[in-house]
Amino acid sequence: MLQEVREQPAALERTLAGELRNVEELRERFRNNRPSLIVLVARGTSDNAAQFGRYLLEMATGIPVSLAAPSIVTLYQRPPQLRGALVVAVSQSGESTDTNRVLEQAKADGAMTVGITNEAGSTLARIAGHTILVRAGKELSVAATKTYTGQLLAMYLLAYALGAPVELDTLRRLPAAAESALSLEEQVGSLATGYRDMQKAVVAGRGLNYSNAFELALKLMETCYVVAERFSPADFLHGPIAILDRAFPVFLFAPAGVTWTLNREVLERFGQTGAKTLVITDRGNAEAASAAHGIVIPADLNHTGDLPVDVYTPIPYIIPGQLLAAHLAVAKGLNPDQPRTLSKVTKTL
């Protein structure tokens, strides 16, 4: 797992270099055939990447985006009418049975289909009308890391193909941002030992980093066997904050921008409860970076273009979380590469 976390800058570079021509062709197709609706379908870590895609695509393109409920197709056999929509399936292996079934149904219904996968020879790649390939290389650890950030990058590329003001030059700087986050491994490893006895936690993130709250919680659950609840801070204040008490572990993604106002308030409330709060941020949010307990990526990740300030933070922000989960598993005497009862490919209907 740690080796694959460290491979992410190179994997991001390969994906950009290998997929730009394909994405430009897709952009040309969308120019004359823009969908009126986007539906994303995925499971597990890929579903977390789809959650990010929902925020990014809707915000950057103005096209309504929905997350599919695969059981409507596979169990209830009541498929929605998707003609005219763009249906995007996301799967690391490309062999998720229910995800592929939804894509097949959408294609039969006349929808335009795109597959995002790390496996060029997979069933998903065969079914999809178009493919954005995550060129992460073989992922051996059960816990997905480099394929998750590759899927986030694929969402940026899809947004670009749909005409969003995503800047390719900025995307080309993401591998360096990932490298900057990786430079914190020694610090994160030391922090992890302080959580050795952690059995429960809350992970919070809002907006574009909401998906990272889900992803870090998933990593803590599957590699460290920590019961991790994930929330938007906006939802957390509506009741769940009552579970906090002194030394309760809380992890918060806190970029600069429009989400910081509420995150600042939430941090104050966390302090009042005595919760053990760890903030993940970057130098672009000087106020959050001054927090007593923080992981501060040594780069200013604020964006100054047409999209929100925090739009390019999710890829570098998840990396300290991945490192934390991997090092914490080792500190607990666990093998993060082989979590109990799990396998790399999960097939469900």
Q: Are 225 and 338 in contact (CB under 8 A)?
A: no
Question: Collapsing DSSP states into helix, strand and coil, what is residue 172?
Answer: coil
Which residues is 67 bridged to in the sheet? 40
> Are 2-172 and 175-331 the same fold in CATH?
yes
List the strands of the sheet with 86-91, edge to edge: 65-67, 38-42, 86-91, 112-117, 130-133
Q: The domain 175-331 is classified under which CATH number: 3.30.870.10, 3.40.50.10490, 3.20.20.70, 3.10.20.310?
A: 3.40.50.10490
Question: Collapsing DSSP states into helix, strand and coil, what is residue 260?
Answer: helix
58-101 pLDDT, tens per residue?
999 999 999 999 899 888 989 888 999 999 999 999 999 999 99
* Tokens standing for residue 93: 């292996």
Average pLDDT, the chain: 93
Q: Does this model's pTM top 0.75? A: yes
Evaluate if residue 344 carries a pLDDT over 60: no
Q: The domain 2-172 is classified under which CATH number: 3.10.310.10, 3.90.320.10, 3.40.50.10490, 1.10.260.40?
A: 3.40.50.10490
- Alpha-carbon distance of 116 to 119, in angstroms, equals 9
311-333 pLDDT, tens per residue?
999 999 999 999 999 999 999 99
> Taking residues 243-269, what's their average pLDDT?
91
> Taking residues 229-244, what's their average pLDDT?
79
Which residues is 202 bridged to in the sheet? 229, 250
> Taking residues 233-239, what's their average pLDDT?
76
Residue 233 or residue 66, greater confidence: 66
- Alpha-carbon distance of 309 to 100, in angstroms, equals 35
> Taking residues 15-23, what's their average pLDDT?
97
161-173 pLDDT, tens per residue?
999 999 999 999 9
Report pLDDT for 270.
84
Domain boundaries defined on the chain: 2-172, 175-331
- Alpha-carbon distance of 170 to 105, in angstroms, equals 36
